[in-house]
Amino acid sequence: MVNAQQRIEKIYEEVKNRNPGETEFHQAVWEVIETLTPVLEKRPYYAEQKIIERICEPERQIIFRVPWQDDKGEVHINRGFRVGFNSALGPYKGGLRFHPSVLLGTIKFLAFEQTFKNALTGLPIGSGKGGSDFNPKGKSDNEIMRFCQSFMTELYRHIGEMTDVPAGDIGVGAREIGFLFGQYKRITNRYESGVLTGKNPTWGGALVRKEATGYGVVYFAEEMLKVRNKSLDGKTCVVSGSGNVAIYAIEKLQQLGAKVVACSDSSGVIYDERGIDLETLKAVKEVQRARIQAYTDQHKDAEYREKGNIWDIPCELAFPCATQNELDEQAAQTLIENGCIAVAEGANMPSTPEAVDCFLKNHIAYGPGKAANAGGVATSALEMQQNASRDAWSFEHTESRLRQIMTNIHKDCYDTAREFDMEGNYVAGANIASFRHVADAMLAFGVI
């Protein structure tokens, strides 16, 4: 008889053998299943029914060619992906990432994480992810449009409001969602609003969706601080990245009285001791679509550190909002030495496993991405709800729903960790709580 721990190690070996070279996927799987031993011990039926083995195997994986022409007429070939990971709780749901680093293993890690994140929202959404190795940087609007049209010309047959509902992620925002929806509508002869989320609110998008991930991660941090009788007011913060998630995390932090002194992009770091000026940041990133260095054109006293490490900047609260594995053990140690008390992840899997260990050992309030950044997909589910009822909610109503969802997720993770004698460990809490939601639905459906 193998015990629960041995069973989990064996499953992990099989995942590595079946998915060679997909290191980010291996990492994401291990980070979840290594925390599930006490669950299998408590309920051996999950093991008998091979629920973990089933959860680690995507339901479907689609790979396709995406040919397109640039403005000079030259032909380019990219690769498109869509992985439907788990549909126990609802249609596949998750974003599309356009970035040159995208491989099948990247999409699988993101779709796997999405399974647990989406379950935590308590809303009826399964998990998926997609994207392409297309690099949107430096492309004209027309090139982006032609790429999106070509991408959707294959993707359309695999998605639908009851089947699979994509949204944005790195490199995909409302502009891309518009081009994708336009092509879907043209090919299918259907105005099926609920097939994509992150749409512009002028034609079916939810208010607050753009802000939701960033706002949500701040709400999650606020809840973690409340447990420790602390608040955001007056805290010095560092937010990595300067994209959709980072910008709206900064906005909500400032609204709640915190001071954000640094943000970044893949080229460098902006340090503004007086606090990041959000209006300038939005103008640089959302309007000009320029590099973050341009911030210093307006703020001569702010410092631009080319290739700098943002985690060297002292802060009380850290918000990694750029990309996976951007925060390593050394950075975690530096943060702790500098007096950081909480880390809330806006990005997916931004902290390496060694960094996570470091946070847990030092009893930092650490909110893993699958819990802390679930506000984005949760608001996507609220967008689906509005589309299904052909309704449009106010900003205030939608934001209050988001606020409540983040409070519920925090409580679910906190209470579950306590149930398993790991109070304050949001990694274990998030993994176990979400695993049980998904596993119980899978059991109800039999062996499928």
**What amino acid positions are annotated as catalytic residues?**
129
Please name the amino acid found at residue 24: E
Name the minimum Å distance from CB 19 to ligand 2IT: 20
Q: What is d(CA 166, CA 154) in angstroms, rounded to the nearest whole number?
A: 14
Per CB under 6 A, 197 contacts ligand 2IT: yes
Name the minimum Å distance from CB 271 to ligand 2IT: 28
Q: What is d(CA 7, CA 100) in angstroms, rounded to the nearest whole number?
A: 36
Size of the site for ligand 2IT (CB under 6 A): 12
Name the minimum Å distance from CB 211 to ligand NDP: 10
Q: What is d(CA 107, CA 132) in angstroms, rounded to the nearest whole number?
A: 9
CA-closest candidate to residue 316, choices 343, 353, 356, 352: 343
DSSP 209-253: HHHHHHHHHHHHHHHHHHHTT--STT-EEEE---SHHHHHHHHHH
Q: Which does 170 bind (CB under 5 to 8 A by kind): ligand NDP, ligand 2IT, none?
A: ligand NDP
Name the minimum Å distance from CB 205 to ligand 2IT: 11
* Distance from chain centroid for Cα 161: 21
Q: Which of 58, 80, 84, 95 binds ligand 2IT (CB under 6 A)?
A: 95
Rounded to a whole number of angstroms, the CA Rg of the chain reads 21
Tell me, residue by residue from 334 to 373, as one string, x for binding to ligand NDP by CB under 6 A and - for no binding.
------------xxx------------------------x
Q: Which does 93 bind (CB under 5 to 8 A by kind): ligand NDP, ligand 2IT, none?
A: ligand 2IT
Residues across the chain: 448
Per CB under 6 A, 380 contacts ligand 2IT: yes
Q: Distance between the two ends of the chain, CA-based, in angstroms?
A: 26
Residue of this chain nearest to ligand 2IT (CB atom): 95
Q: At what angle do helices 141-155 and 174-188 cross, to 10 degrees?
A: 50
Per CB under 6 A, 376 contacts ligand 2IT: yes
Per CB under 6 A, 323 contacts ligand NDP: yes
Contact between residue 151 and residue 182 where contact means Cβ atoms under 8 Å apart: no
Q: What is d(CA 100, CA 78) in angstroms, rounded to the nearest whole number?
A: 9
Contact between residue 245 and residue 252 where contact means Cβ atoms under 8 Å apart: no
Q: Which does 94 bind (CB under 5 to 8 A by kind): ligand NDP, ligand 2IT, none?
A: ligand 2IT
Per CB under 6 A, 251 contacts ligand 2IT: no
Q: What is d(CA 203, CA 210) in angstroms, rounded to the nearest whole number?
A: 14
Per CB under 6 A, 94 contacts ligand 2IT: yes
Q: What is d(CA 42, CA 26) in angstroms, rounded to the nearest whole number?
A: 25
Q: Which of 169, 222, 399, 412 binds ligand 2IT (CB under 6 A)?
A: 169
Q: Which of 115, 132, 197, 213 binds ligand NDP (CB under 6 A)?
A: 213
The nearer residue to ligand 2IT, 280 or 348, going by C-beta atoms, is 348
Q: What is d(CA 332, CA 347) in angstroms, rounded to the nearest whole number?
A: 16
Contact between residue 406 and residue 375 where contact means Cβ atoms under 8 Å apart: yes
Q: Given phi > 0 = left and psi -120 to 50 = alpha, else beta, which region is 34?
A: alpha
Backbone angles phi, psi at 435, to 5 degrees: -60, -45
Q: Regarding beta strands 365-367 and 342-344, do their DSSP bridges make them parallel or antiparallel, or are they unpaired?
A: parallel
Per CB under 6 A, 376 contacts ligand NDP: yes
Q: Which of 15, 29, 47, 170 binds ligand NDP (CB under 6 A)?
A: 170
Q: Which does 243 bind (CB under 5 to 8 A by kind): ligand NDP, ligand 2IT, none?
A: ligand NDP
Q: Which stretch binds ligand 2IT (CB under 6 A): 294-302, 349-357, 372-380, 418-426?
A: 372-380
Q: Which stretch binds ligand 2IT (CB under 6 A): 155-163, 326-334, 374-382, 399-407?
A: 374-382
Name the minimum Å distance from CB 346 to ligand NDP: 5
Site for ligand NDP in 5-34 (CB under 6 A): none
Per CB under 6 A, 237 contacts ligand NDP: no
Per CB under 6 A, 126 contacts ligand 2IT: no
**Residues found near ligand 2IT in the complex (CB under 6 A):** 93-95, 114, 117, 167, 169, 197, 348, 376-377, 380
